[in-house]
Amino acid sequence: MNDPLGELLSPEVLARRALLPRKPAPVELRGERVHLRPIDLARDVAPLHAISSGAPVRVGARAVDAYDPEERIWRFMKGGPFADEAALAAYLRPQVAAPDGLPLVVLDAATGHPIGVAAFIANCPDDLKVELGSIWYSPVAQGIGANTEATYLMLAHAFGLGYRRVEWKTNALNERSRRAALKLGFRFEVIQEYHYIVKGHSRDTAWYRMLDREWPEVEPRLRALLGA
């Protein structure tokens, strides 16, 4: 007989909630292409600004000439482009301090050089759900599988901790992010209209999600994408 209140969760599942802090615990995640570690503003702001300001940048053997940072990185983000390191630090500082978030600097594994940022945000252990967000990469890292591997590492970590749901939200106009969500195995749910006001513009948000029961099918597909 169906429960009129929905599925009744087992004591084991419910007990996971008490094991997860509201602010995600610091973690370092290591892959073949990228490593992730918690952002240290004193250490990371200068190199992050250098790879996201529009100036020419080189990381190992890869290089990009001067580019438009608004077009290549910041168009759909809540902040940026940033004129200087202090402005980027002011943008990142609330993310580092957020009571329900953990921003991670994404490092090129071969050189150890920062190439972007990805974060656990909107963490809600009471409901065993967390979001991957505030994600951006330098053009020098785009197209090399950095985001695929970083997302794989973060998903494996979240589901390994016992989360039931991982969310991905993006501006509904951000076609690149929406394609990435589907490629990575997230499923589209809904468009939430008038969700935010960003840089003076009304933003509709596309919601995607992955559930723990789907992870065993998605995980080998991501490993195949990575050639693992």
Each residue's pLDDT tens digit, 88-131? 999 999 999 999 999 999 999 999 999 999 999 999 999 999 99
pLDDT reading at 2 higher than 80: no
Q: What is the pLDDT of residue 212?
A: 98
pLDDT band at residue 65 using 50, 70 and 90 as cut-offs: very high
Asked if the bond preceding 220 is cis, omega within 30° of 0, the reply is: no
Each residue's pLDDT tens digit, 27-54? 999 999 999 999 999 999 999 999 999 9
Q: What is the pLDDT of residue 1?
A: 55
- Cα angle value 48/125/8 (rounded, 5°): 145
3-state helix, strand, coil in the chain (%, to 5): 35, 30, 35
137/67 Cα distance (integer angstroms): 13
Lowest-confidence pick of 138-147, 187-196, 202-211: 138-147
Each residue's pLDDT tens digit, 143-180? 899 999 999 999 999 999 999 999 999 999 999 999 99
**Domains, the chain:** 22-225 (3.40.630.30)
Is the pTM above the cut of 0.95? yes
Q: How many residues does the chain have?
A: 228
- 220 Cβ neighbours under 8 A, 6+ residues apart: none
